[in-house]
Amino acid sequence: MRTGADYLRSLQDGRRVYLDGERVADVTEHPAFRQAARSIANLFDIAADPALRERMTFPSPKTGEPVWRAFQIPKSAADLKARRLFSETWAEATFGLMGRTPDHVASFFAGYAAAPAVLAAGGNQKFADNAVAFYEFMRDNHVYASYAIVPPQIDRSKPAHKQSDPTLYAGVVKERDDGIVIAGAQQLATGGPLSDYIHLSCIHPLQPGDENYANCLAVPVGAEGVKLYPRRPFARAGNAFDYPLSSRFDESDAYVVFDNVFVPWERVFIYRNIELSRDQWFKTPSHAYGNHQAQVRYVTKLRFMAGLAHRMNEMTGNIAAPPVQIMMGELVALATVYDAMLLAHETAAPIRDGIVWPSIVILYSAMALQSELNGRMLEIIRELAGSAFITLPSSSADFDNPEIAADLERYMRSASTDAKSRVALMRLIWDFLGTEFGSRHAQYEKFYGGASFLVKQNVFRNFDFKRATALVERALSLPALE
C-alpha cells in the first residue's frame, strides 16, 4: 500500500503554490505545509498498517489488493458502518481538525461510481465510463484528491457567463481532439497544496448560457497551468508548545487558478451539461457519502471539544459548581445530538438500486444546524473559561528563564497541576477556538458544506412532508364529537 513516505515524495512534483510573493519550492519542507503534510502522511501509514487491515481496507474488486474503505461502495448497513469506522480512525489521528483528508473527495468519487447511470443520462456514456475509470484509478492507487466546486465570490449578482470577463470563473475555453482547455478560477481547495489531484466542478446552480462552466473533471495538482493561492498559513505562527494545533494540522485552503490547463478526455466526467452538473451531487450518493465523512470527522472533533472543556474546568477548579455542570450538560447534549444523528443517518439509510445511501434528511439537518450550533458550543467554552486563555505567559520561552519561571510556577499553577501543564492545556484550547487557526475552524464549520441557506433548502426538499401533512389531514377530518 502507498505509505506516508511514498506520499511525501510524490508531493515534490513542481506544483505551483504561491505564498508571500514567492513560489513555494517544496511543500514538504516549507514551514507553512511541512507538518500538515506529515499529518496527512501519518494517515497513509495508519491505513497501510497490517494490524488495521480489516478496519481500514477492503479488497479492490479489480486487483484483490487492499484499498481504503473510503472507496467502498456500501451495499449494506454494515458497509456504511465500515466506512464510518475507517474515517473515524483517521479523524481521531487529527482530532477532527483536518476536514479534507483523502477520504472526503474519495467518497464523492465512490458516489459517482455507485450510480454511473446518472452521469450517463442523455447519451453521456463515455463520460460516465471515465468517472468510473478514474474512481478505480484513485481507489487502486490510494489517490488523495481535493476539490474546488464553488465559483469565486467576484460578483454573485450575475451568472457565470455574464461576469465582466467570461474567463473569470473556471470553464472550458477550448476543445481539442484529445481533450479540453480550462481557464479561470474556482474556490476553495482545502488541502489543495497537499493533494495529488484537484477535482473541479460546480455545485452552485448554473443557468442557461453557463454551459462552459458545467463540467466535472480532475487534474493533477502538478499539471501545467494549475496555480494555487493558499490563504495566510497559521503553521508558522509560533512553536508547537504555544500553537499545538496550528503547528500540526493547518490543512490550508487554496484558491485555484487554471491558467489554460489541458485536461485529456479520460479525465472529463461531465462536459458542458448544466443538468448533470446539478444531478451529480444529489441523484448520485456523492454528496451524501462525502458529507457522511464530514460528519464522522465533526463528531470526533466534538468529542475532543468536550474533553477540552472538561479538563479546563478541572484545571480552574470550577468543575463541581452546579451552574458549570449545567452549562457543560448543554455542551455535551449538543455534541451527543450530533453523535446520535451520525448513527441515525446510517440506521435510517435507504437502499436505492442495491446501493446504501446515508439518510439524506438527517444528514442535511445535522449540517444545516451546524452553522449555528457549533458557534453555541464554542460560546459555552468561552463563557466557562473566563480569563483562562488570557492569564498566561507570553510564550514558552518564559519557562526557560529561571527568574520568570519561578514566578510562573508559583502564580500560574492550578490546584491540580504545575504551571507548565496548566499553560499547555489552556494553549491547546485557545488554539482550538481562539487563534487564527481556531477562528478559521469556526468559519469552516459554517461553510464547509456550503452556506446554510442552501443546506436548509436541501432539508426542505427531502423532508417527508407527505407523512407530516397526512397527520394534518387526519386531524382535520376527525369525526365530529357527539
Q: Which is nearer to ligand FAD, 57 or 246 (CB)?
A: 246
Q: Which is nearer to ligand FAD, 150 or 404 (CB)?
A: 150
**What does the angle CA 433 – CA 434 – CA 437 come to, to the nearest 5 degrees?**
75
Q: Which is nearer to ligand FAD, 305 or 327 (CB)?
A: 305
Rounded-to-integer distance, Cα 459 and Cα 481, Å? 38
CB under 8 Å, gap of 24 or more: what pairs does 306-309 form? 306/331, 306/332, 306/335, 308/381, 308/425, 308/428, 308/429, 308/432, 309/380, 309/381, 309/384, 309/429
Q: Which is nearer to ligand FAD, 161 or 456 (CB)?
A: 456
Count Cα neighbours of 417 within 13 Å in the Cβ-side half-sphere.
15
Q: Quick one: 454 exposed, middle or buried, by C-beta within 10 A (0-12, 13-18, 19+)? A: middle
C-beta atoms surrounding 29 within 10 Å? 13
Min dist. Cβ of residue 367 to ligand FAD (A): 12
- Positions touching ligand FAD (CB under 6 A) are 100, 147-150, 153, 156, 187-190, 253, 440, 443-444, 447-448, 450-451, 453
Min dist. Cβ of residue 192 to ligand FAD (A): 8
Rounded-to-integer distance, Cα 17 and Cα 229, Å? 6
Q: Which is nearer to ligand FAD, 399 or 447 (CB)?
A: 447
Min dist. Cβ of residue 100 to ligand FAD (A): 5
Min dist. Cβ of residue 168 to ligand FAD (A): 14
Min dist. Cβ of residue 117 to ligand FAD (A): 25
DSSP letter, residue 479: P
Rounded-to-integer distance, Cα 276 and Cα 272, Å? 9
Min dist. Cβ of residue 350 to ligand FAD (A): 26
Task: Name the residue with cell 507553512.
Answer: 32
Cell of 273: 451539461
Min dist. Cβ of residue 171 to ligand FAD (A): 15
Q: Which is nearer to ligand FAD, 367 or 423 (CB)?
A: 367
